[in-house]
Amino acid sequence: ALKKQNEEAGEEWTVPELTCEKCIDLNEDTFLETVENNNLRDDSLLLLEFYSPFCGSCQEFAPVLNRLADYQIPNTIVARFDITEQNIPKYNNQELFQVESTPTLYLVGHSPSFYAEMYSGKHEFDAILQWLTKKRNSR
C-alpha cells in the first residue's frame, strides 16, 4: 500500500527507515549470538521486536519501541529484527519464534533456563511496561 501511494504521488519508492537509536538491530548473524548466548547476565531480559519497515502498524509502533528503549528498564535490552530482509533463525533447531503479523514482541530470558514469551497485549507504552515489570518481578 505504501509503495502504491508513493507511485501514485509520482515519488520514488524507498524502504521506510524505522530508527531506534538505543535498540540493537539484529540480523541472521547476530541473532543467535544475542538470543542464544544472549550477551545477557542471568538476571537480564531481552525485549525483542520482529518488524517490517513496510508495515503501517510497525511504523506506528516505532515511537513506542524508542520510548521503551529510552526508558532504560533495569537489566533489559531492547532489540529488533527486520523480517523482510532475512529469515528468523531457529533456536536449537526449533522454530521457537512464531511471527504471524508485525510488530510481534517477545520477552527472552535465561533464568532459571531459556524462555521466550510472546506479548499479546496492546502495543502501547504503558501496557508493555506493565507487562515487563510484572514479568521481571515474577522471576
Residue 81: strand, helix, or coil: strand
Alpha carbon of 78 to those of 4, 7, 73, 93: distances in Å? 32, 34, 9, 24
Q: So what's the pLDDT on residue 44?
A: 84
Q: So what's the pLDDT on residue 115?
A: 87
8 Å CB contact between 31 and 62: no
pLDDT tens across 12-47, in order?
766 667 888 889 999 988 988 888 765 555 678 899
The angle at the Cα of 22, spanning 19 to 28, to the nearest 5 degrees, equals 75
| Burial class of residue 91, CB neighbours in 10 A (0-12, 13-18, 19+) | middle
Q: What is the pLDDT along the chain (139 residues), one digit of tens a residue?
A: 555 666 788 877 666 678 888 899 999 889 888 887 655 556 788 999 999 998 999 999 999 999 999 998 888 899 999 998 789 988 888 888 999 999 999 999 887 778 899 999 999 999 999 999 998 888 6
- pTM for this entry: 0.84
- What the block records as the C-alpha cell of 21 is 537509536
